Amino acid sequence: MHEYRFAYATRRAGQRIESACRVAIQPASVKIDGSYIDFYPSTDEELVEEVIRKIFADQQCGLHDPDNTESWVRFSVQMIRKELKARGKTRSLDEIKRSIDILSKTHVSLFVDDTDDPVYSAPILSDVTRVTRQKYLEDTSMTWVARLPALISKSVNELTYRQFNYGVMMSLSSQLARWFHKRLSHNDTNASFFDPYQTLYSSIQRDSGLLQYKRTYDNLKFLETAFNALREHRVLQSWEREDERREGRKIIDIKYRLCAHSDFIRDMKAANARLKDSRTVLSRGPVDKSLHGGR
């Protein structure tokens, strides 16, 4: 069992409210060559999950039931392989199947404010119905089916599942850069040239769980390489260390100042406009909530 802590921030009546959270991840037990081996989700599973969510965005492949707050997706392993290859993230069919196995058997529990009872507990993918190669060859219209996490369904119901630039995110080679791109897409909703995004190294280390080097120097080098990748992909115009807190020669924390690129600002304006339009349509009557963020 792996556990780590992070902070979740929301706004209520214009005020920023931060909750202390803890996530517990129980690894998937997968049979390999006759023996069971425990796997935690890795980069492979992250990419496969992103593609499955993208496939869900296609109305022909996604189904959302607002009454039961459930979201289902139909897909084939070939669809995932083809999409990963198109994005420069090629994986074999067996690797993709193993990733789906890990996603369906990894159990995630979320705790808030140091409570002992989880507020959410479920696999990453639920109720996965598989199709064998033989069955697929007999009928190529047959697809796998899986239920997406309830938190995604709740967000689709409430129209809070934000649009983001899926193409840019998938083009990033670093998992940390992809995480930070999605964080900016969800948090920096009013991105502009005149309002830089500010964040702390300590916050990124706590919330991402991806800065695991023993030396702070190595963590900072890894983080700033991710910032440079975001600049190269026109998410950031520039970034700089704005303030450093030290004890002697030891760096305790750093505040970063991140300036958004015009391309990212355009993406945020498009996401805001789509959210506004969706809420306007919803206020007028029933809406097909099978559409969600990502493009």
Q: With beta carbons less than 8 A apart as the criterion, state whether 20 and 112 touch.
A: yes
Q: What percent of the chain has pLDDT over 90?
A: 60
Task: State how far the Cα of 43 lies from the Cα of 74, in Å rounded to an integer.
Answer: 22
- Mean pLDDT for 89-104 is 95
Judge whether residue 19 has pLDDT over 80.
yes
Q: Residue with structure tokens 């598989």?
A: 130
Judge whether residue 286 has pLDDT over 60.
no
- Mean pLDDT for 136-157 is 82
Q: CA angle, corner 163, sides to 52 and 203, nearest 5?
A: 90
Joined together, the tokens standing for residue 141 give 């219209």
- Domain architecture of the chain: domains with CATH: 2-158 (no CATH), 171-265 (1.10.10.10)
- Mean pLDDT for 154-170 is 86
Query: For residue 254, what are the contacts with CB-CB under 8 A and spacing of at least 6?
Result: 200, 201, 220, 241, 243, 244, 245
Q: With beta carbons less than 8 A apart as the criterion, state whether 91 and 84 touch.
A: yes
Q: pTM score, two decimals?
A: 0.85
Task: State how far the Cα of 226 lies from the Cα of 231, in Å rounded to an integer.
Answer: 9
Q: pLDDT tens, 110-132?
A: 999 878 899 999 999 999 998 87
